[in-house]
Amino acid sequence: MKRKWKIYIAIWLFVVLLNVVAWNSRTFCDWYIFHVFPIWVNTYGRFTGLFPFSVGEILIVAGVLLLAVVALVGICHMVLKLVELSIAKKMKKPMADSELAIDYGLFWDKVKNPIYGLYNGFAWILLAVGLVMTLNCFVLYHASTFSEKYFGEDTEEYTFEDLVVLRNYVVEKCNELSEKITRNEDGSITYEGDMAEVAIQTMQKLGQTYANLGGYYPRPKPLAFSDFMSQQYMCGYYFPFSMEANYNDVMYVMNMPSTFCHELAHLKGYIYEDEANFISYLACIEAEDIYFKYSGYLSVLYYIDNDFYDAVGRDREEYLKQPKILDQVHEDAIFLTQEEWDRIEDKAVLDTEVVEAASDAFTDTTLKLNGVSDGMISYSRVVKLLLQFYRINGYEED
């Protein structure tokens, strides 16, 4: 066996071992996130941060194209083998003894090296993907959670009254802030300033309270394929391949502050979506920027309100006894404006329902494979984190 393939197998064994250890040792994962993971953000993340575009998005596109090329070459390779067998069968003698053998042999000599070279290159790329995903994603799923690190194990039972207090507090904050936001003549919101920089400063400020969140953050970057992202109802992505925080730049502006902070939280090793939601919430509501505050409360409003609605047995009369969410808040909490939806639907290659279903299935499967048993439902677990936080810290008094 050639030396390079011994190295190849050795690295795959290391990747497998790393995953086995991660699944079985939370202590190792915590140590890794504290001591090793920041190295990738501070080196590779700084490098990719030099580019104004999403490096991760480019890598994804390149990966899809590479898969298509490998699949096409693989099919051609199979066809060539079938041709070889067909010729030999027709000549009723071994291929090497047929008159076509020389021509076929000369042709194969020209194409076999590029074909095998492509296969070899693809094998090494798969190895790189496996290693990077393990180091920058898979290990993170098995570490202690944010709440366990800073609030301790949550053994409390929360009552219906606790949920009511939380729900009404967030509703009142949203209602209040909706009337303080500067608006255009048509009631829409625009943001003046460097939102990405404010997001970084906001997260670094939160790092003064929760040390693991301090330090360097790369600037969040918009995605060129934001229209396709919108069809998936996705606000942002964390790319382990490039250590970048990426966001959908066609979604409504009030989603952006909380999305920026959410994706930046992933870059500190918090891979669970509910925890990234929670960290983003804490960062935004503590920001001096009123747009960030409002975005923070909006980001959790419907998780809480839906849980409350379920808790009252979907009894609308009982639901309406509590403070009402203002119509303006509902309008500000949209994912996309109708104008953007119309534009996207008009030019869409695939139906949005198909894209959303495929995206949800992929995300749900990925989460479950990494030990998140409830899959996409885990996003809504932010409600319990909020209940725990406010039980410990109390509610802000006006």
**Cα gap 129→325, rounded to integer Å:** 45
Report the C-alpha dihedral over residues 98, 102, 107, 108, rounded to 10 degrees: 70
Packing angle of the helix pair 101-136, 3-24 (nearest 10 deg): 30
Q: How far is CA 128 from CA 132, 169, 326, 390, in A?
A: 6, 47, 50, 43
Report pLDDT for 117.
Answer: 79
Report pLDDT for 304.
Answer: 95
Assess contact for 66 and 125: CB atoms under 8 A: yes
Both tokens of 19, joined, read 């995953």
pTM value? 0.85
222 backbone dihedrals φ, ψ, rounded to 5°:
-75, 155
| Each residue's pLDDT tens digit, 70-115 | 888 888 777 766 766 665 565 555 544 555 554 555 555 566 677 7
* Per-10-residue mean pLDDT, the chain, length 398: 83 95 95 94 94 93 90 80 64 52 55 77 91 94 91 82 94 96 91 95 96 94 91 90 94 96 96 94 96 97 93 87 95 93 81 57 56 45 91 81
CB count in 10 Å sphere of residue 272 = 26
Q: What angle do CA 247, 253, 259 make, to 5 degrees?
A: 40
